[in-house]
Every structure is written in structure tokens, then in C-alpha cells.
Structure 1
Amino acid sequence: MSYKYINEIASPENLQKFLEFVDLAAGAGQNVNNVWDIGDKLRNSPQMQLCLQAIQQDPASAKMLEEKYIGPSYDIEAMLKMPKSSLGWTYAKVMSTLGYDPQFYRLRPSIEEDIDYIASRIRKTHDIHHIITGFSLDNLGELGVISVTVAQTRYPTFLLLDLLGLLMTFFTSDKLYSEELSATEKGQTLGFKFELLSAGIKMGQEAKPLFPVKWEEGFERPLDEWREELNIKPFLDGPFSWYSHPQLQAAVL
């Protein structure tokens, strides 16, 4: 019977692990370190090995793994002096307008192991992916941008956050998705979350691999040029998009 399978996976041990992840994910909105803790808990998991296999299948990504390229730290002041509408200038404008720390990410103590390098590189480039894709840097776009990474690499931390995001919305949402709702109200519906995840997965499937891109060596290139090269069709309006944020829209004009 199918219930036997459910009983096997819903063992007390598995449920306890699941509840630990739910607790960390629920607090991620207040403390980004919770996200890094989830990643650290999944370091030696079978899911991380599948992520490694997925990345190794792409020749450029496999080469990046061998090289272990991290690149220099992001220098907001230097990037603000780059050509207007370049990737670096746009990133710096958005981050400085929002007051975000460009070094927000937690690197692993060592990147000698492939799985530690993958986690460190994905963490460092996460906000660059926001700029490239157009997904907003708040709850209205976060599940979308991590779904791009999930589609391309199967990175387990982001995959789990996608699933937990749906689960928590299932328990907390009290409205049906409707175009008449405000952006904030839409973002609290299960329909919005499904649409957001689907949009990110579709973008990731259609785009060229982002993992092997050395963004740091091309910050002065036009943002539109990067998007065209990578086959990224960004969200430039609507609730998913950071361009819909009035302050950010004014900053990059």
C-alpha cells in the first residue's frame, strides 16, 4: 500500500530533521545566518552530492570547480564609478540604495572541497543574480531568483527553501491570488509563490549556466549585454521585479 511508503519517509528521525529546517527557514527573514546554517546542515547530504553531479555535467562549470575561482570582494565605491548601466554600476546603485552589505554572505572556512566551493560561490553571487534576472531583493522576488539556481544546479539549500516557502505559505495564507490585491497581499498567497517559483525555474532552464560566469571580470560591461549573452529575459516590471521599487527605479535611471 502507498501508505507504507509514507510511513517509512515520515519516520520520527526524518520528521525531527524536517522540523529543524522549518524552524531555521521561518527565521531566515529576520536573520540571513539561518540560510547559511541550512546550507551547512546539508553539506554532507546526498542532495549536495546530486548538486555536485549536476554542476560537473556542464563543461564550463566543471572547469570552474577545478579552478575554484572566487574573485575579489565587491567594492561598492569603485563600482559606482563604473559606466552607467553596467552590471557593476547597477549592482552598486541597488545595494547602496537599499543599504545592503555587499559582503553579507558567509564563505566556508576552506574551499578545497568542491562542495564547499560551490556553496561559497553561490552565496557570493546571489545578489548579482538578482540584478541580472530582475527579481526583487525582497520576499516578492526571493523565491524566484533562488529557483533560477535550483533549475541549473539543484543546489539543495535553495531547493529546500523553495519547498518550505510553499509549505509555510500553505499554512499562513488566508487569501486567493488575485490581480486586485496589492503587491504585498499577492506575495502572501500560495498562487503567487507557485507563479514565482515557476518563473524562476523557466528562466533557469532557458538561460545559459550562471555558475561558471566570472562576474567580477565583467562588471564594467553593460547589463543588457550580459543578459543577451546569457539568454536572460529579465523581469522589468510587475511585483516580481526590483525595477518596480520606486527608489531603485529612480536610482538606475
Structure 2
Amino acid sequence: MAYRYINQLATPENINRFLEFVDLAAGSGQDTTNVWEIERRLVDSRPMQLCVKAVLAESSSAQLVKERYIGPAYDLEAMGKMPKDSLGWTYSKIMTALGYDPQFYPQRTDFESDADYIGFRVNKTHDIHHILTGFSLDGLGELGVISITVAQTRYPTFLLIDLLALLMTFFTSDTLLSEVENDGDLGKTLGYKFDLISQGITIGRNAKPLFPIKWEEGFERSLEEWREELNIKPVLEGPWSWYSRPELRAAIA
């Protein structure tokens, strides 16, 4: 039968591993350490091996991995004094308005493998990608921005979160996207999450590689200049664009 391959995949071992990841992902909204635990469990996995292969296939990314570039910590106060509308200035204003800690991820100086370093760099630059692409830094904006990283690197933690978000909505959604009457209900539909993930993947495929860029050395450059150079068409409207939040637009006015 055409479905026999499912029996090959759905071994007790694979099912148990899957359920463990579901449990961790379900709690990540309340405790971000769950995300770090997912990363830890995937660091030596076959999906991570494919991620490393994808990253190293791009020459400038491979050089960054070889170099183990860390760069200075993001200093919101110093970045807030950079030229108005620069990437660093915009990042500082948005993060400050939200009350977010730019050092939210586990701090590292030593890395045991290429996979270990790639995970660190993905985490450090994650919120920069939000600023570049316009996807909000909370809620379903996360699905959009992590899908950009998935499209460019196959980073397994983010890929797993995308897949689990769709799976969970598959079981809970009771509304068609065409029936939604307000933005607050969009996240309850499977169709809208598909659209967000697809939008992020499209942006990622069209953009130049983001992984190898040393943002720390280019924060004073114009945000629009970066977007034009990288071929990023940002999300400037809709409920899951940070531009749609009045307090954030006021922060960069």
C-alpha cells in the first residue's frame, strides 16, 4: 500500500522522541529554557547535520563558522545614539519599547562543534531578523521570522516549531480563514499559520544569506539600505507586523 512508509517512520522510538519534543515546545511560551533544551537535544541529530551542511555550503557562512565570530554584546544605550533610522538605532528603540533583553539567549564563548556555534549565532541574530523583515517580536510574528531562518539554513529547532504550530492548530482550529471576522481570531486558523510560514519561507528564499553577516559591524548603516542590499521586502502591515503597533511606530518616529 502507498501508506506503508508511515509504518517505517512511526516506530515506538520515533513516536516517543516526537512526544518529548511536543511537550517541550508546548511549554516554550511560558519558559524559554524549553527552547534551549530542544536545541540541546537536536545538536547532534540528523536534522542538525543537514543544517550544518546547508550553512557550510555557502562560502561566507562557512568562513564565519570557521572563525567562530561572536562580536560584542548588543548595547541598547549605545545603539540608541546611532544615526536615526539605522539598523542599530531602530533595534534599540524597538527592543527598549518592548522591554526586551537583547542578551536573552545563553551566553557562550566556547563551542564544541560547528552545530553548537550555528545555534548560538542563530539565537544572537534572531531579533535583528525581526527588525529587518518587519515581523512582530511576539505572537505569530515568530512563525514568520523563524521560517526565514528555516528557508536559508534548515535550522531544526525552528523547523520543528513551525511543524508543531501547524500540528497543534490542526487539532484545535474550528474556523476557516475565510470566516474570520477580526484580526484577533486569525491565529486560531490553520490557513493563516500556513500563510505566515509560507511568507517567511518566500522572504528567506528571495533574500541574500543572512547568517554570515556581522551585524555588529554594520549597525550604523541605514535599515532601508540593508533591506535593499539583502533583497528583503519587509512586512509593513497586518496584525503580525511590528509596524502595526502604535507604540512601536511612535518609538521610531
TM-score, shorter chain, exceeding 0.5: yes
After the TM superposition, which residues 121-132 of structure 1 pair with which residues of structure 2 at under 5 Å, given as runs? Answer: 121-132=121-132
Q: What are the residue-to-residue correspondences of 1:103-114 with 2, within 5 Å?
A: 103-107=103-107, 110-114=110-114
Cα deviation 1:17-71 (Å, max 9, x = unaligned): 1011111111111111111111111010011110011011111111111111111
Question: 1:87-112, CA deviations, whole angstroms, 9 ceiling, x for partnerless residues?
Answer: 11111111111111111012457324
> Deviation digits for residues 103-160 of structure 1, max 9, x if unmatched?
1012457324111110000011000000001011111211110000000000011111
Query: Which residue of 2 is the match for residue 164 of structure 1?
Result: 164
Mapped contact 2:70–2:109 kept (Cα < 8 A): no
Q: Is the 8 A contact 1:80 1:89 kept in 2?
A: yes
Secondary structure (helix, strand or coil) at the match of 2:103 reads coil
Which region of structure 1 is more displaced relative to structure 2, 155-164 or 107-116? 107-116
CA contact (8 A) 1:135 1:242 kept: yes
Change (3 A) 1:108 1:23: farther
The SS at the match of 2:176 is: coil
Task: Determine the structure 1 residue equivalent to 2:7.
Answer: 7
Which runs of no fewer than 5 residues in structure 2 stay unpaired?
A: none
Q: Determine if contact 1:110/1:116 at 8 Å carries over to the other structure.
A: no
1:69 match: secondary structure = coil
Residue identity matched to 2:128: I
Instruction: Give the aligned partner of residue 153 of structure 1.
Output: 153
What SS does the aligned partner of 1:72 have? coil
Q: Find the residue that maps to 2:212 and give its secondary structure.
A: coil
Q: Residues 156-235 of structure 1: matches in 2 within 5 Å?
A: 156-178=156-178, 180-235=180-235
SS in 2 for 1:18: helix
Could you tell me how far 1:8 is from its partner in structure 2? Answer: 1.9
TM-score (norm 1): 0.96
Worse-matched range after superposition: 103-112 or 13-22: 103-112
The count of aligned residue pairs is 253
Letter in 1 for 2:74: Y
Q: State the one-letter code of the partner of 1:141.
A: G
After TM superposition, the runs of 4+ consecutive aligned structure 1 residues lying more than 3 A away are: none
Deviation by residue 1:183-219 (Cα, 9 ceiling, x = unmatched): 2211221111000000000000000000000000011
Conserved? CA contact 1:177–1:191, under 8 Å: yes
Query: Is 2:141 the counterpart of 1:141?
Result: yes
Q: Is the 8 A contact 1:108 1:119 kept in 2?
A: no
Q: What displacement does 1:179 show?
A: 7.6
Name the CA distance, whole Å, in 2 between partners of 1:72 and 1:238. Answer: 34
Tell me which moved more, 224-233 or 168-177.
168-177
1:22-101 equivalent positions in 2, closer than 5 A? 22-101=22-101
Number of the residue aligned with 1:118: 118
CA shift at 1:237, angstroms? 0.9
SS in 2 for 1:163: helix
2-side partners of 1:70 and 1:191: how far apart?
Answer: 38
Does the aligned pair in 1 maintain the 2:135–2:144 contact within 8 Å?
yes
Structure 1 residues 93 and 178: alpha-carbon distance in aligned structure 2, compared to 1, 3 A threshold: farther
Q: Where do 1:239-250 residues align within 5 Å?
A: 239-250=239-250
How far 1:180 sits from its partner (Å)? 5.0
